[in-house]
Structure 1
Amino acid sequence: MHYTIHQNISIHFLRVGSISNSSVLQIGSAGVIQSSSNLYNTGDFEQPAPEAEAQEQAPFVPLAF
């Protein structure tokens, strides 16, 4: 048995709090969700960034232990 589904989605406002490499944002229905990971060099950098220096201050957000 085969189903054909036609849908029209109109989004007037979409707010996404955060999204990370392992997040999935899906709008509508999908039979298969394929992952995508892209890395872009938008600043035309030609060498790696210098190593960060360690800071001796407390974190801004308290960490739960």
Structure 2
Amino acid sequence: MKQGFAAMQDWLSGKINYHTARNISFAISRLVRDEKDLVKKRFYQPFSPLMASPHVNTIASGKQTLQ
């Protein structure tokens, strides 16, 4: 989660592109998918789309297009 937050902050400040935050989002999705504990699964599940929000915001704003 700390890496995701740091990546999002770096993206928003223009230090990196959105790929880092998006890749962290994918990693969280994989962790959630493989998690056996239902409570942990439900807790971590909303973090994946949150980490990808810079990616969605970039495309929605027209700064980046889907390729």
Larger RCO (alpha carbons 8 Å, 6+ apart): 2
TM-score category (smaller protein)? under 0.3
- Greater percentage in helix: 2
TM-score of the pair, normalised by structure 1: 0.20
State the structure with more CA Rg. 1
